[in-house]
Amino acid sequence: MPNQRFLTIYSGILTFVFAVTVLSGFAGRTKKVSFDEINVRRINIIEPDGTLRMILSNKTDAPGMFIRGKEYPHPDRKSAGVIFVDDEGTENGGLIFGGFKNKEGKVESWGHLSFDQYQQDQVFSIDAGEEEGHRRSGIGISDRGDYPILEAVEATTRIGALPGDQQEAEYKKFVATHGGDAQRAYFGRVGDGSVVLRLKDKQGRDRIVLQVNADGTPVLQLLDANGKMTAQLPPQDHR
């Protein structure tokens, strides 16, 4: 009996040592797994330290907005796509897309690729879509103010909690101290079938507009800061 008990204990120790050795070997080894096909609702790509770097998601599981590793609500994000995240865990661009026929049988479709300013919103975007029978596609270039987007997120939450009759005034106060956001250029096809190039000043006002209308008529316009046309080719017909 003593010998049998000794053998049982000895066997258990050997099994334990073997298990630890095998598991330690697996833990220290980089594993690569290959799949022919995989079905997944969402994939979070992270760094070794856990920092989120990219999210691939369906529509239902679309993420909120990430700022320095913290997720904030993003109610308007209801599309499948890819969200890019910088080294500090802040969103800095994305690709979203979708499309369907609504209850009236009309097409609603969209595609959007954008790149963000550091700790801010998008400064370059490519868009295409259709709504109410109007098709559009274009490239936009924008300026962003020198303030972190987190201040805008916090202000939106704070102002949204105020009574309705106070929200507009508070929003104007925020904009007065957080300027610099403006579209600077746009080139694309707009809903009426024309194509247009709009060059804007720092306040987002059109200053040069080059357009080919849906009927093929070309127009070049120069405008002042008040939106008044100062010159046009071909000349405007005043008759």
Q: What CA–CA distance (Å, rounded) separates 26 from 30?
A: 8
* 152: region left, alpha or beta (phi > 0 left; psi from -120 to 50 alpha): alpha
Report pTM: 0.80
Q: What CA–CA distance (Å, rounded) separates 218 from 230?
A: 17
Per-residue pLDDT of the chain (239 residues; tens, 9 = 90+): 555 665 555 555 555 555 555 455 555 566 889 999 999 999 999 999 999 999 999 999 999 999 999 999 988 888 999 999 999 999 999 999 999 999 999 999 999 999 999 999 999 999 999 998 899 999 999 999 999 999 999 999 999 999 999 999 999 999 999 999 999 999 999 999 999 999 999 999 999 999 999 999 999 999 999 999 999 999 876 43
